[in-house]
Structure 1
Amino acid sequence: MQSAPAPRIAVVGCGYWGTNHARTFAELGALHAVCDRHPDRAGQLAGVHSVSAMTIEEVLADPEIDGVVLALPPQYHADQTIAVLEAGKHVLVEKPIALSVADARRVVDAASKSGLVAMTGHVLRFHPAFEALEAMIRAGELGAVRYIHSHRVGLGKFHAENDALWDIAPHDLSLILALTGEKPISVRGVGSAMLNRLSDFAHLHLQFASGVRSHVFASRLNPYRERRLTVIGSKAMAVFDDVAPWNQKLAVYRHKLWEDDNGWQSEMVDPDYVDLPDGMPLTRECAHFLDCIRTGEEPRTPVADGLAVIEILSEGTVRHD
């Protein structure tokens, strides 16, 4: 029996990340068209993949297009996402889905009314190391989660509208929210602007009703690159290090802790590295979007997740040092 053809996807925005989306959907046999406000850029990418270069009006009006990927400057995401949904097409919108809570809520409301697949591009949720970490926590291998901290630092990229908090922190906030399964009851943020009015460093401190606490450190003005999420549990600790070699990306530390007459004691042990299946996170994310279009299932990262992240970012953007 012949399998059904892949849904037909248009990628809107032919910059760095949109180009990655176009390549990935082409590899999955689903790319139908590309679109960019610069026709030459769209035409060049369309030629690479032998698809059509369209205007946004043509994309929205084309009945052959099933889904649209939006990889735009984030100030355009909310309005364009709503336009795509109102045109009757499924949508995968890159993070952040909006630059205000009000606009993000408009997106979520439009998605709810449409009954279509509306997915946020939180690509690290589809990383095999993170999926394995989620499974370990669900199985109780780390015990009760007590603390989660993330460090995502490096040099560049600098954006005219987004500071380090809004540009970088959504990655880790989406992971933390997935692991805790709840929204924070307290958010405190501090940013530091070195180059201009926008923060190049940002710290967020989160507290959850369950007792879990968390902090996020993001920087785009740092001499070294770090992409690390650490989970402290009552039985063990785990580190998802996306800069490490593939066979060391997820490490589990079963350190021993005990209390005696001399107070708390500890014994360190070498980490156990978790075997991971092959698979690029972006490919897995794009394939999931296609599967949701085919089946009508709720995406793993709905736009409501994007709203939850923006609520934290808005509450955490309180002051600069």
Structure 2
Amino acid sequence: MKPRIAVLGCGYWGANHVRTLRDLGVLRAVSDANPARAEGFAVEHDCLAIAPDELYQRDDVDAVVMALPPQFHAEQAIRAVEAGKDVLVEKPIALTVPDAERAVAAAARHGRIFMTGHVLRFHPAFEKLKALIDAGELGTVKYIHSHRLGLGKFHTENDALWDLAPHDLSMILAITGQAPTEVRGEGAALLDHLSDFAHLHMLFPGGLRGHLFTSRLNPYRERRLTVVGTRAMAVFDDVEPWDKKLAIYKHEVWQDSGQWLATANEPTYVPVEGGMPLTRELQHFLHCIETREPPRTSGEEGVNVLRILTAGTVAHN
């Protein structure tokens, strides 16, 4: 029998989970602090509407997808795993590292799946990029930088760093396979007390460096991850159409008589099979529930991302 999934939190991203789980045939229930909102989703998607306080006691719910304001994630995740439910918790999984650690530890203690909602780890273009890196096509990775810019999505609790950076940090951690040894951050708040721009600079063991720039007050949209290796460079650009989302640049750089020279070559676009990252993420969650295999985006990864965010958080300018 397929796992029976409930969605807790029917806001913007929770609504996407509801629709996708319905299409996968595993949506059992929806739950929200606003009963009318939950009832509306239940009627539209032919499932149950269950009050949050009653959700974890239901025998007909096997797992819960949580898309709440992040200050509520840890408490609700602990309640769920203590009641025997597996959980997928949207990013960030908490607002403090100790809260996140408690939630992940509770899941381990009760033998439950704890998956973090780092959806871009399941993007077909990133999966292809990761495979190329693992196969040595880029050589030794020396530098990674990401830009996630746009206009809007203002939150009362999350600034630009905490809202936007987890996506890219999860990809960077997947590529490096290790946590940074140094993190330096800077931000700027223009609208209120929350940063609208944020930079992170990271140093990893072995000298690999990473840089991340996020903004929610940018005049254009940018979703780009660049990886620089000793043999080639790669760009995952999610704004581009599918046939141009992943580009490989085999530029030549050499030294002659003490001078560095370079020849720029045209990019080679890597074929990527289209697919919705959220669908692939939820299919992976179902697979983990059924097999009890650890998720690709584990709770520990969610904690590691929070550690970087915390280290990079600075006083607003």
Quote the sequence identity (%). 61
Match of 2:112 among 83, 95, 116: 116
Question: Which letter maps to 2:287?
Answer: D
Determine the structure 2 residue equivalent to 1:186.
Answer: 182
Q: Which runs of 5+ in 2 are unaligned?
A: none
Give the residue type in structure 1 aligned to 2:244.
Q
Q: What's 2:165 paired with?
A: 169
Partner of 1:36: 32
Tell me the distance in 1 between the aligned counterparts of 2:182 and 2:219: 31
Letter in structure 1 aligned against 2:110: S
State how far apart, in whole Å, the 2-side matches of 1:44 and 1:114 are.
Answer: 33
Residue 7 of structure 1 corresponds to 3
Answer whether contact 1:203 1:216 (CA < 8 A) is retained.
yes
Structure 1: 5+ residue stretches without partners: none
Counterpart in the other structure of 2:310: 314
RMSD: 0.8
Aligned partners of 1:6 and 1:17: how far apart in 2?
23
Structure 1 segment 74-89 matched on structure 2, within 5 A: 74-89=70-85
Q: Tell me the distance in 2 between the aligned counterparts of 1:311 and 1:262.
A: 42
1:64 corresponds to 2:71: no
Task: Give the Cα–Cα distance (whole angstroms) in 2 for the partners of residues 169 and 187 of structure 1.
Answer: 13
User: CA–CA distance in 2 between the matches of 1:271 and 1:162?
Assistant: 37
Aligned-pair distance for 1:320? 2.9
The alignment status of 1:45 with 2:36, answered yes or no, reads no
1:277 positional shift: 1.5
Report what 1:202 is aligned to: 198
Instruction: Tell me the CA shift for residue 156 of structure 1.
Output: 0.9
Q: In 1, Cα distance between the equivalents of 2:48 and 2:108? A: 30
Mapped pair 1:26 → 2:41: no
Paired amino acid for 1:45? F
- For residues 145-192 of structure 1, give each alpha carbon's deviation from its aligned partner in whole angstroms, at most 9, with x where no partner exists: 000000000001100111101111111001100000000000000000
In structure 2, how many angstroms separate the alpha carbons of the residues matched to 1:109 and 1:103? 10
1:140 offset after TM fit, Å?
Answer: 0.2
2:193–2:316 contact (8 Å) kept in structure 1: no
Q: Corresponding residue for 2:268?
A: 272
Task: List per-residue Cα deviations over 1:201-258 (Å, max 9, x = no partner).
Answer: 0000000012110010000011000000000000000000000011100000011111
* Alignment TM-score, normalising by the size of structure 1: 0.98
Aligned residue for 2:56, secondary structure, equals helix
Kept after mapping to 1: 8 A contact 2:234/2:247:
yes
Deviation at 1:112, TM superposition (A): 1.5
CA contact (8 A) 2:194 2:316 kept: no
- Residue in structure 1 matching 2:216, options 210, 220, 227: 220
**Preserved contact between residue 189 and residue 319 of structure 1 (Cα < 8 Å):** no
Does 275-284 or 199-208 show the bigger shift?
275-284
Q: Secondary structure at the match of 1:276?
A: coil
Q: Distance in 2 between matches of 1:103 and 1:290?
A: 25
Report the Cα distance in structure 2 between the residues aligned to 1:320 and 1:159, rounded to whole angstroms: 16
* Residue aligned with 1:184, SS: coil
Q: Which residue of 2 aligns with 1:16?
A: 12
- Given that 2:144 and 2:209 are in contact with CA atoms closer than 8 Å, whether structure 1 keeps it comes out as yes
**CA–CA distance in structure 2, aligned partners of residues 226 and 246 of structure 1:** 15
How far apart in 2 are the matches of 1:163 and 1:223?
18
CA contact (8 A) 2:65 2:89 kept: yes
TM-score (norm 2): 0.99
Partner letter of residue 122 of structure 2? Answer: F
Query: In structure 2, what is the equivalent of residue 105 of structure 1?
Result: 101
| CA deviation profile, 1:23-62 (whole Å, cap 9, x unmatched) | 0001100000000010111011111110000011221011
Moved over 6 A (4+): none
Q: Secondary structure at the match of 2:181?
A: strand
Q: What is the CA-CA distance between 1:262 and the residue it aligns to? A: 5.1
Say yes or no: does 1:245 pair with 2:275.
no
Aligned with residue 91 of structure 1, among 67, 87, 99: 87
